[in-house]
Amino acid sequence: MKNLGAEFIGTFALVFAGTGAIVIDETAGGAVTHVGVALTFGLIVLAMIYTVGDISGAHLNPAVSLGFLAARRFPLRKAIPYMASQCGGALAASGLLHLLFPQNKMLGTTIPAGSAIQSFVLELILTAILMFVILGVSTGAAEKGITAGIVVGAVIGLEAMFAGPICGASMNPARSLGSALISGHFQYLWIYLLAPVIGAFIAVLGCRCVRESGCCSGETLGRAEDL
């Protein structure tokens, strides 16, 4: 239960700070700026990895949990409750933002600026890069250690900075689901649910191609069991 609580709180913080930055930027007439929003996402992930990484592994993202599952670093019996906790945290954060800013209609909902296929491909590639990095800096299914928070937070901030204006750079089904459900905007939700999952699976294949034997196999599952 501590693991699930950590995932709930960590994802709540991620969505509240990240999408909250978008909402406040719109409310304050651009005071936060796009760069500020991107940095907020990266910094809150960095902070949560250092805060709950030693408890739950700080997945904070259903695509990451599924990626660890596909890499055989995380068992299915734990992945499903993790994803439920992450979605619950995202919904709670979006609900609170709705109470605080009832005039905001989008609540940071991710929508394409161009075509749907363009954003789908972008989200897929962005998540593949993110998951590839996470697999490289994690131990078993845990994002923890001296460098993990800095590296993962930096990648998220970087990707949000350059791709956010086009696709929203969600890379996280829970983050997009929470905003969409509370705001009632579902038209493009399928992009942000499907593309990150496919991207995470592609990253696992990439990891198997370039890393040592056993990096994505049952040999690492024992360490995930300790979470």
User: Where do the structural domains in the chain lie, given as residue ranges?
Assistant: 2-220
Q: Which helix (H) or strand (E) holds 133?
A: helix 116-137
Residue 73: name the closest of 195, 174, 208 by CA: 208
Which fold would CATH assign to domain 2-220? Answer: Glycerol uptake facilitator protein (1.20.1080)
Contact criterion met (CB below 8 Å) for 65 and 59: yes
Tens of pLDDT along the chain (227 residues)?
Answer: 899 999 999 999 999 999 999 999 999 999 999 999 999 999 999 999 999 999 999 999 999 999 999 999 999 999 999 999 999 999 999 999 999 999 999 999 999 999 999 999 999 999 999 999 999 998 776 776 678 999 999 999 999 999 999 999 999 999 999 999 999 999 999 999 999 999 999 999 999 898 766 566 544 433 333 33
Contact criterion met (CB below 8 Å) for 174 and 11: yes
Task: Please give the structure tokens belonging to residue 89.
Answer: 């945290």
Residue 111: name the closest of 169, 65, 58, 155 by CA: 169
